[in-house]
Structure 1
């Protein structure tokens, strides 16, 4: 991951929560915590059986993850829409990154495994969930490039659908930041180039009526706790839409830069004009 994106303007000030807001935070947060960490405990128990039998393959536990992510939108009462066909090819997904909600948004419809910066593994709560659900942790260190490529190959050839955010950081959800090309290089290894496809995905958040347009964005110095409270407290939620663009065959591209550019163009093309900032 790169340095945090700070944007070209001030971060929106969180509004002061009313008594009713705190009630919504309490019941939504409690339900979300019970479902998330209750299912995490179940996942870890199932994994004790699944791992020695199936090894890297995970035929059962990803369904637990998908249940949690789908339930999150039911608890929030937030519409979650999907357009396009999810690819059946062996390969990976790339998407724009706007919010911590992306983790729930993209896992709710497809069995995927995230690629994340290594320090996330040590974050309280989020790190536990990431490790338990099979996240691939990487360091931005050239000395580890070969080992990371080998790890990508093993996971992709095992049938895992990996997903990463090529922007390298999260934005305010009103733009698509330039895609970094580094991780695309792994797809051009001898073992993967001719068998792998990459599917670009656009994730579009629409703010609740009357709320700041960047309501769901999480960037800059915004604290996770404060952002979480604002989302939980919303009387009426906005919505999220996921657009799956046609998958791209890696072998059809000359190099990582060409593939990254095509993916970026597809993701950016999924944003309607009213959602993009100038």
Structure 2
């Protein structure tokens, strides 16, 4: 059954690259103005899923629809409704910013009467109005990334697909990039593949992929709440020894980067006793985070793809 109100639906989508199964039965529904984060290690299937949704490749199994349109039978109609931002800017550095947007307007067949105002809006969104007639070869990485996003959203797509779009940007450039995304929230759905948990936390839903399968799908709040217990981080002179000692005493502990992580339902009640230990120099309490969710849901095997 197809959800015609959804920006994207996938049903049992699978895809192989030779003997490697990149996607293994992916079933998702993305609402018309929903922002969804795709999380997963390298090789988890994020990029493959976005390549399928953007009509670059066809799945070996399953069905995909965009706004109720079947991807296999009507790829051209699907392409009219999507905007894509790749891992690297898809821009010709010999063009000016305005020329790049004019080219995009022609490619997506924007009516001529709409092109000038849309381009002006896109330049303003990207904070590049005063650089509109400068060649892209003179732009910083952050400026080029913002323009690339404005290019991908120029035609107000019903579904924007963004594959690790802020890779390589400094924090200020990343904030500016997300500000553009925020201003376009009501135009359509956004699917953002990312490795950054703070970016995932800005989304309505987080979908975690592992070995081509969905291993988590919920709101950031619900995912962290499901972990339950707070984490206790212990400062000590020898994390390995302390972790082994606590585990032997019946307190689950793990040495991580020179500190010891303790996660138990009665974590807060243990603080005083842990402070009193001579082998503990300090204790800090941390509620569950998306990093914890990711670590709990993703298998600890070597990256395969």
Under TM normalisation by the shorter chain, which class is it?
Answer: 0.3 to 0.5
Scaled by the length of structure 2, the TM-score of the pair is 0.31
Higher normalized contact order (CA 8 Å, seq sep 6+, divided by chain length): 1
Scaled by the length of structure 1, the TM-score of the pair is 0.33
Q: Which structure shows the higher strand fraction?
A: 2
Larger Rg: 1 or 2? 2
